Structure 1
Amino acid sequence: MEGAVTVVLVSLMFVLSEINCQEAILHISNESTDREYCIVYNHSWTPISATLDAATEYPLVNLTSTSLCNGSGISPDVMKGKAVVVMHGDCNMSQKAIVAQKLGATTLLIAKNRSLVTPSAIESEYAKVHIPLALMRYRDFLEAQQVFGEGMQVKLYAPPYSKIDPSIAVILLISIVTVTLGGFWSGACERDRLNSGDTGGGGGENKADSGELFLYSPLKVVIFVAMMCGMLVLMYFFYNVLVYIIIAIFCLASASALFSCLDAVMEKIGCGTLNFSIQNWNLSLRSLLLSAVCISIAVVWGVYRNEDRWIWILQDLLGVAFCLNFMKTISLSNFKICVILLSLLLVYDVFFVFITPFFTKNGVSIMVQVALGPDASGEKTQGNMVEIPAEPQAPFEKLPVVMRVPRFSAPAQNLCGMQFSILGYGDIIVPGLLVAYCSRFDVWINSRRKIYFVSCCFAYLLGMILTFAVMLLSGMGQPALLYLVPFTLITSSVVAGCRGEMRQFWAGTTYEVLDSSREPLLPEGRTDCTVEGERC
């Protein structure tokens, strides 16, 4: 059961990024009040002011009774020097704009009852339009009419936002702190095990007494990755059913992980426990209180999981706990297993992000489709296009397998709908397993400077920085493992090679459980667990 849960969650944890959108703000006011609404425009076609103060204010004329495909029946005096709002109709937008500017309008707003898609036209029409053109929701215009009546003054502006949003720094901080803490925790557990004289569990389950699960067989690693691929494909075809199963599993797994993390903190700071018995059950007051807190947090997240304004905080908290507990629980027994697992997952990540769009009907990669959900059409729009729903949409279910931080420097985007910077749990867990192995190896060789652990964490940081740099330059989400795996594997190999410890680093330790078909890792005739005079 534990292995199945692992496959289900880990197979869906990879990076996605924010989209380059073209939203702007419609500022409507009168003498006593003002409000702002979301509009969509094409900055390369009809640019508008970057700030509210720089924008020119115009009175708004209501012509929603027409689609303005021609100027018949409309007096130029009605539109001259004013902004005008018309309905979306059968003719194209450039035709409406040409008619509007011939009649003297200064700005054209097109109200739509359907999704707002970035305005476009045939190439020859772009040069003919000289006035700002934008799309707005028809329901927003009706609301504005109720608030302001007929005396509306409007300004259009598009606040600039930096691609290097502060949310990226928050995501980077979350990832590096989680990887570092997870690796440190794994090393601390290994040190406690060695100090207690525990040499690991036996039997076919390959579990230590502490509950850790060791991956030691290359065949099992291959089967594990194959199951991940199968799970991702199943999610692609049966998303609407399986998403609820994943949500339920995440609630259980994250509550358990959060309990494990908080209990370890309580133990570290010396928080005592009050033990008592009920019939044959031995209970702890601390465990009961922690269980209640963790279950409550998971339940609150499950109930309000689609409330974007604040629920991301709980999702990130549960996600950090899940990743930490995963890195502490799942142990890679040697560097050979690390190389096999990380290399296979690198191929997996690249294939499902870059290759699968050639096989899907809508040209969206399976990884993006599964991570964002089939109903997130606006979020998946590529390049310089954006799609905003014209009517309030029922919240669609999203997989809880990403860290999410809202963009801080995108007021127009957040007015149209919250935008997030996203990092998949897999981009923390997968390199984190190697970091955890390096931390344990430092314990085995009694490295006081923790050279393997520190160097691998630094390599992870550099890999993440490169990932975000490429994402910002290309304007596309990147498979982070494409950069993280080479950085961490090569750095670890170089450190082991320079220290002359590659053989030990590659083979791992001797307390791991081996297949009966494999030879012991110690040289023939050796019965201790020392390497060149140092305890391993």
Structure 2
Amino acid sequence: MRHAIVLIWGALLAEQVLGEYGMAHFSNKAKAKGKDYCIFFNSQWARLPQDLKKASRLQIHDLTASIAMVLRGNCTFYEKVRLAQTNGARGLLIVSKDRLTPPAGNRTQYEEIDIPVALLSYADMLDISRKFGMGGNVAMYAPNEPVLDYNMVIIFLMAVGTVAVGSYWAGSRDIKKRYMKHKRDDSGEKQDEETLDVTPIMICVFVVMCCSMLVLLYFFYDQLVYMIIGIFCLAASIGLYSCLCPLVRRIPFGKCRIPVNNLPYCHKRPQVRMMALSVFCVGVSLTWGVFRNEDQWAWVLQDALGIAFCLYMLKTIRLPTFKACTLLLVVLFVYDVFFVFITPLFTSHGESIMVEVAAGPSDSSTQEKLPMVLKVPRLNSSPLALCDRPFSLLGFGDILVPGLLVAYCHRFDIVMHSSRIYFVACTIAYGIGLLITFVALALMQMGQPALLYLVPCTLLTCLATALWRRELPMFWTGSGFAKEVPQPSGMALDCTKDTEQSNEDPVIDCTKTPEESSPVICTDPEDSDDTSRSSDRLCQNTRAAH
């Protein structure tokens, strides 16, 4: 596998033209302070100084001893730069109305040309004309950028925290449902949240849908982006409601029900506090939807909604066996690597489909971004912040896919009474894999498929733990879940028989013996929602006092 990855990277590096971001500092005598603009250049033509103080300030209106600025047109980069160099220019700025791509050439052309050539956006050219006219000076330079940004720490904490909390919650909730079947008399307030067991067929269908949707977004981004934003708003509000619901149930007021009505989803008269929670969650989601492009603060709402969505998915979707976990992670591993590293060989400009869709195409007419990522603005100050995308991103899939494996590990820990060793080991492995992803991102300076590092770290760690504990057959097939587990201490018993209860689940009889005449009284507490979500009725075996 390692040799295959090396060959893939080598092929990509052989085919791609390396481009670098730089700065063009424009100024004139009338204005003491100039302004930097983003440029995209190819250092194989000529290198730029790293410091503005070492860059020559040249005029842009005359070719002789100057930096020429021309429109992109139809002729090649080489023809433009050769003509500029022949006429005595010291550099060439090519104004492009399309996306900025590295000015390419061949080895012979690189050896012939010794002046720098860079691309400048058409919008920046118009701004330069308004502010400096055509008689200003320009100095091109390429400042160093920090290898790592401090925002990686925030992304790391959010991702690992979401995986740990969501997996712990999913495991605890799933095991509790093995003993208790939730049947609420107050069914209008909260229906039981069903768990979805993932099958191999579902995994294959899911991957095909992911591939199709990603390709459609690449070709029809502007037409589909608003649909994705709408779906995210709906899913995020549901996830936020699911996460806040246990907290709201502990509030001692707002238990009265709304009046009788025929409104959708309200005809069963839910409690006022739950209605208020629903309105709040929808309001938060709509607030983000309206102000989603406010870079100063909207990213906080997006991350909060995204974390809530991931927690909801982790406790709703259940992988029943380690075999299913392995199938899902391996298939998505191939999917992630293909769309990041292989697709640049087939796209017109050599860009990765995954990176292009996740970050938003630079030539998009809507300039909208997909919300299915955690995003944190860059915290290091650098002039190149004008060029590079100002946010660091981590996709939800890089949290959910390994998180489903961690949740399986926690459920297995509880069943096998293994002191949560699988859960802790897999969570630590996820954190290590994420750190390796950040290191690869810093070294390669290009978007990384996080699953390339997360999948081997988590799968191999779980496999090694199961081998060490000699539990691999049970861990692989999930057969440990078929064992009868002792009733946890302190958990209330359910004296009502669930009609959907499986044959394996024991039926608990609250009566002491069939012959005893002591009555069994099942009483509802004042509000069972406030005391325990795992039991709707308490059983009291009463006897006459002697």
| TM-score normalised to structure 1 length | 0.72
Residue pair 1:273, 1:285 contacting (<8 A) in 2 also: no
Structure 1 counterpart of 2:20, one-letter code: Q
Q: Which of 230, 254, 259 lines up with 1:279 in the alignment?
A: 259
Work out whether 1:62 is the aligned partner of 2:44. Answer: no
Distance 1:395 1:83, change over 3 A: same
User: C-alpha distance in 2, partners of 1:154/1:362?
Assistant: 28
Q: Which of 423, 431, 435 lines up with 1:453 in the alignment?
A: 423
Question: After the TM superposition, which of the residue ranges 316-325 and 411-420 deviates more from structure 2?
Answer: 411-420
The superposition leaves residues 393-424 of structure 1 with CA deviations (integer Å, 9 ceiling, x where unpaired) of: 63244433222334445845432463543322
Task: Compute the displacement of 1:220 (Å).
Answer: 4.7
Structure 1 counterpart of 2:386, one-letter code: L
Seq. identity, % = 41
The superposition leaves residues 464-513 of structure 1 with CA deviations (integer Å, 9 ceiling, x where unpaired) of: 2333444444555443333323322222232233234344433141389x
Q: Which of 341, 356, 370 lines up with 2:328 in the alignment?
A: 341
Report how many aligned residue pairs link the two structures.
Answer: 458
Residue pair 2:258, 2:272 contacting (<8 A) in 1 also: no
Work out whether 1:135 is the aligned partner of 2:119. Answer: yes
Task: Compute the displacement of 1:93 (Å).
Answer: 4.5
Residue pair 2:101, 2:349 contacting (<8 A) in 1 also: no
The superposition leaves residues 131-186 of structure 1 with CA deviations (integer Å, 9 ceiling, x where unpaired) of: 43333345534433433346633332222113433344433332211111111222
Task: Compute the displacement of 1:223 (Å).
Answer: 4.8
Residue pair 2:437, 2:453 contacting (<8 A) in 1 also: yes
Task: Compute the displacement of 1:454 (Å).
Answer: 0.6
Structure 2 counterpart of 1:109, one-letter code: L
Residue pair 2:92, 2:118 contacting (<8 A) in 1 also: yes
Q: Secondary structure of 1:509's partner?
A: helix
User: C-alpha distance in 1, partners of 2:125/2:213?
Assistant: 45
Residue pair 1:22, 1:41 contacting (<8 A) in 2 also: yes
Q: Which of 451, 458, 477 lines up with 1:481 in the alignment?
A: 451
Question: Unaligned stretches of 5+ in structure 1?
Answer: 1-18, 69-78, 202-207, 379-388, 513-518, 529-536
User: C-alpha distance in 1, partners of 2:67/2:215?
Assistant: 50
Structure 2 counterpart of 1:277, one-letter code: R
User: C-alpha distance in 1, partners of 2:474/2:182?
Assistant: 19
Task: Compute the displacement of 1:348 (Å).
Answer: 4.1
Q: Which of 81, 86, 93 lines up with 1:109 in the alignment?
A: 93
Structure 2 counterpart of 1:62, one-letter code: H
Structure 1 counterpart of 2:449, one-letter code: P
Q: Report the counterpart of residue 481 of structure 2 in structure 1.
A: 509
Task: Compute the displacement of 1:328 (Å).
Answer: 1.2
Where does 1:342-381 land on structure 2 (aligned, <5 Å)? 342-353=329-340, 367=354, 371=358, 376=361, 378=362
Structure 2 counterpart of 1:311, one-letter code: A
Q: Report the counterpart of residue 41 of structure 2 in structure 1.
A: 41
User: C-alpha distance in 2, partners of 1:188/1:500?
Assistant: 24
Q: Which of 120, 131, 134 lines up with 1:147 in the alignment?
A: 131
User: C-alpha distance in 2, partners of 1:503/1:476?
Assistant: 40
Residue pair 2:145, 2:384 contacting (<8 A) in 1 also: no
Q: Report the counterpart of residue 464 of structure 1 in structure 2.
A: 434
Q: Who wins on radius of gyration, i.e. which is larger?
A: 2
Task: Compute the displacement of 1:123 (Å).
Answer: 2.7
User: C-alpha distance in 2, partners of 1:495/1:433?
Assistant: 17
Where does 1:146-225 land on structure 2 (aligned, <5 Å)? 146-149=130-133, 152-190=136-174, 192-193=176-177, 197-198=179-180, 210-215=192-197, 217-225=199-207
User: C-alpha distance in 2, partners of 1:366/1:33?
Assistant: 40
Residue pair 2:248, 2:277 contacting (<8 A) in 1 also: no
Q: Which of 283, 288, 298 lines up with 1:296 in the alignment?
A: 283
Task: Compute the displacement of 1:521 (Å).
Answer: 8.2
Q: Report the counterpart of residue 11 of structure 1 in structure 2.
A: none
Q: Report the counterpart of residue 515 of structure 2 in structure 1.
A: none
Distance 1:38 1:473, change over 3 A: closer
Task: Compute the displacement of 1:359 (Å).
Answer: 6.8
User: C-alpha distance in 2, partners of 1:151/1:39?
Assistant: 20
Residue pair 2:81, 2:92 contacting (<8 A) in 1 also: yes
| TM-score normalised to structure 2 length | 0.71
User: C-alpha distance in 1, partners of 2:367/2:458?
Assistant: 36
Q: Secondary structure of 1:400's partner?
A: coil
Q: Report the counterpart of residue 495 of structure 1 in structure 2.
A: 465
Q: Secondary structure of 2:437's partner?
A: helix
Task: Compute the displacement of 1:256 (Å).
Answer: 1.0
Structure 2 counterpart of 1:317, one-letter code: A
Residue pair 2:409, 2:423 contacting (<8 A) in 1 also: yes
User: C-alpha distance in 2, partners of 1:408/1:428?
Assistant: 23
Give the RMSD, CA atoms, in angstroms: 3.9
